[in-house]
Structure 1
Amino acid sequence: MRAALAATLCLWLTAPAMAQVADLVDRDAFRVCADPANVPLSSEDGSGFENRIAELFAKELDVPLQYTWFPQVTGFLRQTLSIGKCDVVIGFAQGDEMVLNTNHYYTSTHVLVVRADGDLASVERLTDPALQGKRLGVVAGAPPTTHVARLGMMKLAKPYDLMTDRRVENPAGDMLRDVEDGVTDGALLWGPIGGPLAKGNPKLKVIPLLQEEAAPRLFFRITMGVRAGELTWKHELNSLIRRNQAGIDAILREAGVPLVDDYGKALKAP
């Protein structure tokens, strides 16, 4: 479906159309589309690490920061970026065909969150025999769930929803509470969610999954998303990313995001 959409967009984007799309970018403000309750990434109170990156870019551009808030569920792009209500989504997986991606500004991986004093604290990979017979919290449709199924551990797993309105549901928080309370033995989460949410909790240990060799891969490069055809805007954002990479890394590390190299094999050196 995404491939078909991308092909259709390519047919539409003649040179005049591209010029018209580029005109949608507001140069008087840094206009961001974001979920108002997607903690720890974005929040209407400005506490998310994507909020801080947006603030950094607005300061660099010397323009005010403006948000269009919309829950990141089905229709998010259609109701925000696509119709010109804003000009950028701060976090988008590289290669997603629904947007034009900037260069990636960080790479992260999925993590296993366990009790720090438990018998799984030394686990480093999902193939570890210590995980057999354990109940893991998994996100339906997420890459680690495929690994869990292949390893024969799904029958004991507890699934949590992937696409939810975070204003009324908090599956990631529920997953971590279940680990703390012993409902599950561990939770498999996207690192930029699990890492920050577990940061500072002495009861939990976050284990980046860097040693998985089977498909699907568990690491992803994260870009910013802009509208198709906005090449000038994309290049401007690429320049901002390059010039502010150290500051971006500092924001992400402070938040607790596990940063890895571009191939997901090792933690990124400070």
Structure 2
Amino acid sequence: MRLSFVKMHGLGNDFAILDGRDAELPRLSPAQIAALADRHRGIGFDQLIVLSPSRTADMAMRIHNADGSEVEACGNATRAVAVLHGTAASIETEGGLLQARPDAAGAEVAMGRAQFDWQDIPLAYAMDTREMPLGWEMLERPSAASVGNPHLIFFVNDVDAVPLDTLGPEIEHDPLFPERINVNVAQILSRNAIKLRVWERGAGLTLACGTGACATATAAYRQGLVDGEVTVRLPGGTLTIRHDAEGGIHMAGPAQESYRGTFELDHFS
């Protein structure tokens, strides 16, 4: 079976999008997704996005990391889908219902409210997630938040000094996190600017992570480190995160199409 895809990215965080809104798609196995994600022998991507009809929204979006695992939310991919769709839309995800609208610069997404209870992250046992009494080598006392998927946030003096390529996978797979965890290291630059690097569960180091930017900005705002609207500077570019009066998180930033193509599914079985 030959399938069509659209390759898109948000700040270098890249996706292959399969659009099944008008025609039913076969369900791909984790092994097939991992093979497609291979940057030498497949399409190459951080996440595979599958769109389908929804009974409760304009469309449904399923998100698969490069290792084939399925995750609940992806902020950069939501912006990409909004740009692909072309008009404001409600998007059903495993992490909840999102509202997105394209704009001149890319798209803005209403991400909902962050969750901070240890069971919402989730953690293996009860703990205050504001400033956790934990440490992994140079990384200590993180915050935790869920914005549809789980994030751990460390505030450090210099994000570039952190060996995130080695500490990231160690923390991701720690038994404290039964569903694994995304690992963020953040440097507060001012009341309205944060520098951020992210190790994504199932994907590794990425140029940008939308939900990581949301979780980090919210954790910093919760601790009084920043104001309600901040720019988050990632290796791939900058996102703007804004908190409304009800605690809702709004993320704005670029997203664009790279190219379109097809592949023979049987080649990746």
TM category (shorter chain) comes to under 0.3
Query: Which of the pair is proportionally richer in helix?
Result: 1
* Bigger radius of gyration among the two: 1
Higher relative contact order (CA 8 A, sep 6+): 1
TM-score, normalized by length of structure 2?
0.27
TM-score, normalized by length of structure 1?
0.26
